[in-house]
Amino acid sequence: MRVGSNPQKQERKIKLSTHHRVVVVVYIPNEEGFYKDSFDVFKLCIDSLVSTINSNAALTIVNNGSHKKISDFLNLYLAEKKIDTLISHNTNIGKIDALIGAARGAREQYITLTDSDILFVKGWQEKVEEVFTVFPNVGSVSPIPVRTGLYAGTSSVLKQILLRKIKYMCVSIPENYVNYNKYLESINWDLDIREDENWPVVEKKGVRAVIGSGHQVLTVDRDVLFKTTPSNPSLTLVGSNSEHNYVDLPIDKAGKLRLSTYNNYAFHMGNTIEKWMIDVQGVNVNVIKNTENNIEIIAPSPDLFNSKSNSKWYGLKKMIIKKIFSFFITKN
């Protein structure tokens, strides 16, 4: 028998205190072989997030079947309120299913999806949100710019350039040279030789961004997760184009821009720690945290029923836009 009235019913609506959610999925089953230093890498990742986000952001960590040391560490950080939400799975349900499942449960408009081996740099959140604020119809922004992403899931960006909604240019960014080579080395790609290599850049209201990105870390518009991201589970442990199908492709299919910050604000560490990574975190903790709430918190879209945009002609449209863009760039 119920006695009295549930006091929560008097409160009714919940007011969001944050507009940015960071989701990290971690799977470290042991401390052997490939995973020998993974705990230290993961701890550095989380510590860099704790030291660099402002009061408008909160952290969700998904423990995807990791061993006890990881569980104990996460429970401690939850108790200390360094992380806001902890989701735990007894077994590994697959990286992308764990990531998308947690992200869809978030209510913030900006949702950062990140691997557990990313080192964040102070200012990354503000720079990412600046791109969302200035450019029209942005779907994702990564704090790690990639020089060769002009045609990778970016037909919506190219369309905006052709319509002259945003300004396009190819420019060298010498200050990105060292950090970009760190990224290339971390994924075993060939290093850039020259500092003056051109980058595909767009500009709006004096703010610049790089076209395209990788998918190790990127901030997405929440609406993408409910409109063009597949509704069925991936059922994939890792890889097999799952990140492409559930993260990269849906952004472009939604007609939204896929961009990166103009300069580098995060690093991919891999599975070992180097001294320079510790130095980066040392700078992070010595910078005074910015707690100003200077961006209006946007309520989530009322369309919560996973409505699908018409993707029948997406492949043809993408091909046509790329050909037209390539023709005009070559001509000019």
Q: What's the average pLDDT block by block, 10 residues per block, for the chain (332 residues)?
A: 67 81 96 94 96 95 95 96 96 92 93 96 95 93 91 85 90 93 89 91 94 89 87 76 78 90 95 94 80 50 44 64 65 58
Write out the residue range of the structural domain in which residue 71 sits.
Answer: 16-292+304-331
- Helix, strand, coil distribution of the chain in percent, nearest 5: 35, 20, 45
Q: 38-52 vs 275-286: helix axis angle to the nearest 10?
A: 20
- What pLDDT was estimated at residue 46? 97
Q: Which residues share a beta bridge with 118?
A: 268
pLDDT on residue 331: 58
In a domain, 2, yes or no: no
User: Into how many domains does the chain fold?
Assistant: 1
Does 110 fall in a domain?
A: yes
Q: What is the DSSP letter of 308?
A: P
CATH, residue 276: 3.90.550.10
Token pair for 134: 């200035």
- Confidence (pTM): 0.85
